[in-house]
Structures are given as C-alpha cells and as structure tokens.
Amino acid sequence: MEFPSRLPRALVRRVRRGLALGAAALLLGGGWLARAQTPTPSPASSPTPRPTPTVRPSGSPAAASAENVMWAGLIFADVAGTDPVVKDGELKIQGPWPAPLVGRERQVSKIFGYRRLRLLGQARERIRSGTEDWVLRSKPFVVKVDTRKPTKKGYEVSVQLFQEEKLLVEATVDLPRTSSPLYIKGPGVNSGQLIIAIICGDKGAAWTRPRPRATLKPTVTPTGTPAAASPNSPEPPAASPMPSPAPTP
C-alpha cells in the first residue's frame, strides 16, 4: 500500500503495524474456530475394557471349594512273630473291615508286622473350606483331625491321638487327594499296636461308596426245600475283646 508523501513517516509505520496485527489475529481466530468445531467423542462411544479374570493357584483356599471327603480309622493290630493263635503266613481280620481299606489288609500287616487286625472305630468328614476340625471316638481313645489348609496336592493335616485326656501321638502331615491311605504308628498297647489310617479323595471316589453286603444262599436239601437251622447248632465265635488300654513306655 502506498500513502501520500505528505503523511508523516511515523504515522505510516503505525498504520502498517496495525494492519499486520489485525491479519495475525484473523489467522489465530480461524484456528480456534476450527478446533472448536471438531466433534469430541462421547464417553459412551469408547469401548469399555473387560476385567481380566483372576487365576488362582491350585493350592489356594479357592481350590478347596470342590468338595472332598476325608476318612480316618483307628486299628488295633497284634499277634506278631510266631504266635500260635494265627498260623504262619495267615492274616486274620476280627470284626467288620472298613471299605476304604478293603484290599489293603496285607499292606497294613506287612508295614507293621502284625497278622491280626481289628477296626476300633472310624469317622468320615466332608471337606469344603479346607479348615475343618473333626473327631473319631472309640473309647477310651479319641483321634482329633485338624485340617489346617489346602495344599497343591491335598491338605495339611494335624492328627492327635488321645487316651481320655492324655495325648499319646501328635503328627502334622501333608495328606494328598489320592486313593492310597496314610498310616500313622500309634503307641504299643500290651502285646499289640495302635494304628491310625487316614485317606482323602473326591466325594465320588470308589472308597466313599458303601459296598453291598454279601448274602448267604440257603442250603438246599435233596427235596428242594431250604434246610432249617438246627436249634443245637453252635453260634459263630465272637471277636475277642481288646486288651486293657495301657500303653507301653
């Protein structure tokens, strides 16, 4: 732009400076307007992140939510060596034998060296939280089982054997969830031995299901009619009582 020569130079510089500032203001204002018209995405349109599932190790307390079953039995074993009551190589079971130990009679005999076994008492407990306490009672003995916590393969268990109020045996073991029992050697009682057997498994394990009792078929006479029992026939011998529970030192 040309100005008349009669205008002072100072005035001309001021006019040019004002025009330059005005042009810069127009440019900046146009940029702000363009940014103001850019649509901002609403929070609803942004994808919501999904929570990451928490993976717990198998030994954590959450793993104990699957229901398990524990069984414990107190066994009295006697007749060691060459006792004449039982022939060499013979194994005798006095009274009923528990389902969790069916087929393991000789295993117990071989481990502890006794050939006559008798179940004194048994108990079973459902394990849900992995911290259950339960008791097996067989007077005058009491077996206390304290399930402390779940582990990777089973549970940490504290087992105590009492005779009335006297503590005889105390042991802390890692009991796996398996079909094999764990044996704990108790004190000697007269000529025999107390044994604690304990086992843990799923609630559907074979040893948790009751086994049907075998039924005896009646003897058939030649005429085809069942033979009646003779009133003078001898009764089956009763199991011998357990010796006096006086633990040997």
The whole-number pLDDT of residue 203 equals 78
Reported confidence tier of residue 44, pLDDT bands at 50, 70, 90: low
pTM score, two decimals?
A: 0.59
CA distance to 74, 121, 175, per residue, from 110 (Å): 17, 21, 21
Better-scored residue on pLDDT, 49 or 111: 111
Share of the chain above pLDDT 90, in %: 41
| Each residue's pLDDT tens digit, 19-37 | 666 655 555 555 544 455 5
Residue 208 contacts residue 231 (beta carbons within 8 Å): no
Residue with tokens 């033979």: 227
SS (H, E, C) 173-232: EEEEECCCCEEEEEEEECCEEEEEEEEEEECCCHHHCCCCCCCCCCCECCCCCECCCCCC
Residue with tokens 């089973």: 154
Parallel, antiparallel or unpaired: strands 182-189 and 192-202: antiparallel
Query: Is residue 247 pLDDT above 50, yes or no?
Result: no
> In what helix (H) or strand (E) does residue 34 lie, and over which residues does it extend?
helix 9-37
Q: Which amino acid is at 123?
A: A
Parallel, antiparallel or unpaired: strands 133-138 and 166-176: unpaired
The whole-number pLDDT of residue 26 equals 55
> Average pLDDT in the 123-152 region?
92
> Average pLDDT in the 146-169 region?
94
Reported confidence tier of residue 202, pLDDT bands at 50, 70, 90: confident
Mean model confidence pLDDT for the chain: 73
